[in-house]
Every structure is written in structure tokens, then in C-alpha cells.
Structure 1
Amino acid sequence: MLISIVGSGRVGSSIGFLCVSNGLDDVLFVNKTKEKAIGEALDIANAIPANSKISIRGTDDYSELVGSDIVVITASVDIYLKDRTENIGLQVKMVKDIAEKIKEYCPSAIVLMVSNPLDVLTYFFQKQSGFSRFKVIGIASSLDTSRFRYYISETLSVPQSSISNALVLGEHGDSMVPIFSGVSVGGNPLFSLIDSRDTITENVRNYWKTLRNFKSRSQFGIAKNTFDVIDAIVKKKEIVIPASIVLEGEYGEYNIAMGVPVKIDQNGVSEIQKIKLDDTEASSLKKII
């Protein structure tokens, strides 16, 4: 298989590193600056396991996407500082251009969207490319879920391993909806251990802003969450996570992309799962639209 990553900045290179260091499969970086792609590939090449036959290389030539089984999009026109939608016009144009190239050179690929605004770009890529909605997957709600689990752990001073069924749905943005109603901690319902959902919800929504008080942007969390999906596809396993996909009636929504629970296998999304929400969660999810 060939795993191609469009964009070789911090996130793209971190995803590439995880794929290569785990001996997953061949990796190609495609970047608008050829030297950047080649440089990251040269560096990460030193992490190839000694017993592995895989390779990694970099280019600015989209025609080298031919044969790609998975394409991960991490490219960005600029860094955002206040809101993920700051550069939305330029980002949409960029993704539409990338969609045309992927459609031309590797029309059978599964596409993992990582660039922001995540849900908007997932939607426009799927519409521009004409790919099956089950093969265009936005990776972000699983990251938000990791952040939700982190704040539950911090609030209750418990290990994250004791937390079950944490989940974040909706947009990857200021209206994301942590799903408290199904969470248990050490076998106990979360609602029996906290007074309010408000503080944790606000902390999860603003996690990226808190992180940016200390470093320029998130990197490793999203890389690991994306790698887990790539790993499942390559190894023909199943993984159940929340991810963004264009909806056609699921959760009562049509013609939008947002994070919902999905099952992913070697062919892309195999199932959109329906879960029970309490009234507050259902109402919050509706407010996104």
C-alpha cells in the first residue's frame, strides 16, 4: 500500500513518523515546497525499522499520488490564531484544488481530512471529488474525545484508563458536544461524580487555545488519532471512533458533515452508529446546524 500525506508541516510529518517508525507501509509526502517534503522524508527515513522494507520520500508533484491507497490531508494556507474558520475561504479553495488532483491520480483512495475547518473541508472535498461519503473521513472528533477524557481525568483525579464511553460529537469547533450521559468512571456514572457539565465542556472546547498558551499548535494528539485510523485500514482491522462524515439523514441531518460515531475498516466507513443522547445533548447537537 501507499500512504500519501498532503502537507508536511508539524502534523503531517508527525503522522508520517508514526507510520514509518511502526513499519506500517510506504509513505509519500506531497508539499507545495518540495524541499520541505524531501527534508522531512530524509529525517524520518532514519526511523525505518531495520527489518522493514518500507520507504518514505517527498515531492511537490501531485502526479506521484498514483497508486495511493490512503491520502491524508494536513495542508494549510496559514496558521489560525482565534478561530478554526479564520482562513475558511482560502482553505476551501485549497481543498477543492487538492480534491481535483486526488480524483485524477488516485480515485480509489480513502481520504482522511485533518486540515481545518475540519467539517467544512470534509464536506467540500466530498462534494468536489464526488467520492463516496464513506471514503472521505474527517479526523478530529476522536481528538476531541481524547481531550474530553483528559479533563474528566483531571477533574476527578483518576487515571484515564478508568473512564469508559467518553465521546464528543458535532463540529470540531466551539459548538462541539461532549456526550456525558453514557460516560462511566470506575463503573460509576459520571453524573454521580460531578455537579455540572459546563466547566468540562468549556475546557474541552477551548483545549486548543489553552495549549497555544504554551506552544504554537497541537501536533501529537491529532497525529496519533489519525495514525490509529490508518493502522486499522492498512491492517484490515475495525476501529470505532467519532469522525466527521457527510450525513444523509443520520441524526436527522442532511447534506452537512459533522462528527458522529462510525465504524471504519479497510474500505472506509462501514457503519454510522446511532447512540442515545439525553435532551441537553440532542438540543446542543441541533444548535450546530
Structure 2
Amino acid sequence: MMCLISIVGTGRVGASIAFLCVSNGLDDVLLVNTTKEKAIGESLDVASAIPANSKFSIRGTDDYSELIGSDIVIIAASVGIYTKHRAENIDHQVAMIKNIAKKIKKYCPSAIVLLVSNPLDVLTYFFQKTTGFSRFKVIGIASSLDTSRFRYYISETLSVPQSSVSNALVLGEHGDSMVPIFSGVSVGDNPLFSMIDSRDTITDNVRNYWRTLRNFKSRSQFGIAKNVFDVVDAIRNKKEISIPASVVLDGEYDEHDVAMGIPVIINQNGVSEIQKIKLDDTESSSLKKSAEKIRSDIKSVHD
């Protein structure tokens, strides 16, 4: 059965996600952008990547009414570029997400919504509150990207292939308070803690990955695009994927009324399970501080 994957925001990230969906023949793709020409241009470019045996298409528009029939909506829109931290444009980004949320509620209220825009956890929270959608169908995709970066730095630190690193997770804020979970990580058959002296250097590297990357290019696009694609593929093909992602919490990890990255299982219906994992005392304390940071950002928003 065909479905429609809609992507709101056709910058580098949105276009990269569209490319992966189209080139892998997932489904019809709609690009929505405030500048119609940008959406059409990206759709024309990506259309050249449609496999010869694919029955699917891609098109671009600035008309939100074309979201009707969308099964999955990905939000990768932004009002500006952050340079110091992900929450520096918070008021404008929240205003943007509320506006988008009202349109999605109007035109495709049954869609599963994947958020990519920053500040990721704050926007996930406000989108869910604005729409009243099930919290299990409003999912912020970023902690899985941070997890990829955590795994990368472990492999670089120990000079081992990433494939030898298992059970790496990053929870909490997609921001400077994110919490790499060291206690469950194994490298080969050995616990990570038996192979490193301190968690501080790796933690700092993971939190500052985006800043390091920006020393060499303007912003990241491919890592987050692949992480989003993996979730879309799982939803579309009725598979399960186990990743950390941001959802609004209602008692899980002793947190209420805040969205942050926690381990979840996602299937064709959205989040099917919030997984409870064991944390050591340092991780539990850091996760509590991360939740408070997100909650503080939420309260700072000026309507």
C-alpha cells in the first residue's frame, strides 16, 4: 500500500532525507517549503535519483493543504542558523513549530510526526501540546544521531572498529547537557569502563561534535538524514527499530511534562514502547539535570 511521506523544510537536511527516501523507493514524497521555488528545485534534483523500477514520485510546494493524506510528516524547517547553542533562536523556532503544528493538525491529523528542527526537545514538547496528538506519534529524532557520534568517539579513542562497540546510548537533551550512557557499553567482550580512565573527554567530544564539524563545513546533514530515514523505513515497512528518541514523558524516568531523549521502540504505529534501562548514579544525576535544562528552556519561551 502506498503512503505519502511529507517533509516540511527543504534545506540540506530535508533534501538529504528526501534523497534517501526516493533513492530507496520508499514512497511518494512531498516537499513543503515557505519558498515554493526552493521546494520545486529540490524535488526536481531528487527526482533524478528515482530508481528506474520505482513507481513513486516527488514534488514540491508551498501549499500546506497538499499534506492531506500524509502518513509520515518530517519537520526539518528552521528560521535561522544557530552558532552558539541549539536554543539561541528558541522563541522564533517555537512560534514556527506552533504554526506548522496547527497546519498538520488541520490537514493530516493521523500522521506520525518526526521532528528534526532545533531545539529538538523543546519543539517536540510544543508540537505535541499544540496539536494534542498522542505523545507516541510525535517523535524527536536526534538522540540516535548523538548515539552514532558517541560510538564514533569510542572507536576513535580505542582505535577499534565501530562494529565492535555495542549498547552505546545518548539520552537527555539534544544539546550541551546530553548524557552519554557509559555503564552499559561493551567493546568486544569487555566493558568500556575497563578500557578508559575517564568519561569526561568522550562526553565533551560528543556534546561538541557539531561545533567541531562546523570548523570544517557549515552544518551537518548526512548523519541526521540517515537516522531519520531508518525510522521512516521502519514505520513504512512495518519493522521495529530500537533507538533513543525524544518524546513527551509522563512519569517515565521519573519525569513529567518534558520531552527528552529516552530509549524507545518504534514501529508502524509510532512509539510502541518506552524502555527502562539501568543507569549508574552519575548517569541518573546527569539525566535529571538534563531534564531540568529542557524544562527551563520550555519555561523561557515568550508567547
TM-score by length of 2: 0.95
CA deviation profile, 1:33-76 (whole Å, cap 9, x unmatched): 00000000000001000000000000000000000000000000
What's the CA shift for 1:187? 1.2
1:247-286 equivalences in 2 (<5 Å): 247-286=249-288
The secondary structure found in structure 1 opposite 2:266 is strand
- Aligned position for 2:99: 97
CA deviation profile, 1:72-114 (whole Å, cap 9, x unmatched): 0000000101110010000000000000000000000000000
What's the CA shift for 1:287? 1.0
Whole-Å separation in 2 of the counterparts to 1:114 and 1:129: 17
Whole-Å separation in 1 of the counterparts to 2:133 and 2:155: 39
The secondary structure found in structure 2 opposite 1:173 is coil
Structure 1 runs, 4 residues or longer, greater than 3 Å off: none
Q: Give the letter aligned to residue 245 of structure 2.
A: A
The secondary structure found in structure 2 opposite 1:28 is strand
- Aligned position for 2:153: 151
- Aligned position for 2:295: none
CA deviation profile, 1:203-255 (whole Å, cap 9, x unmatched): 00000000000000010000000000000000000000000000000000000
Cα root mean square deviation, aligned: 0.3
Unaligned runs of 5+ in 1: none
Given candidates 109, 127, 130, the residue that maps to 1:128 is 130
1:50 and 2:52 aligned: yes
The secondary structure found in structure 2 opposite 1:217 is coil
The secondary structure found in structure 1 opposite 2:46 is helix
Unaligned runs of 5+ in 2: 293-303
Given candidates 180, 195, 203, the residue that maps to 1:178 is 180
The secondary structure found in structure 2 opposite 1:283 is helix
Whole-Å separation in 2 of the counterparts to 1:226 and 1:58: 20
- Aligned position for 1:83: 85
- Aligned position for 2:297: none
What's the CA shift for 1:154? 0.3
Whole-Å separation in 2 of the counterparts to 1:286 and 1:170: 8
Q: Give the letter aligned to residue 153 of structure 1.
A: S
Aligned-pair identity (%): 83
Given candidates 202, 205, 223, the residue that maps to 2:204 is 202
Q: Give the letter aligned to residue 122 of structure 1.
A: T
Whole-Å separation in 2 of the counterparts to 1:183 and 1:281: 13
Whole-Å separation in 1 of the counterparts to 2:288 and 2:56: 45
The total of aligned residue pairs comes to 289
Q: Give the letter aligned to residue 17 of structure 1.
A: F
Whole-Å separation in 2 of the counterparts to 1:136 and 1:38: 27
Q: Give the letter aligned to residue 130 of structure 2.
A: Q
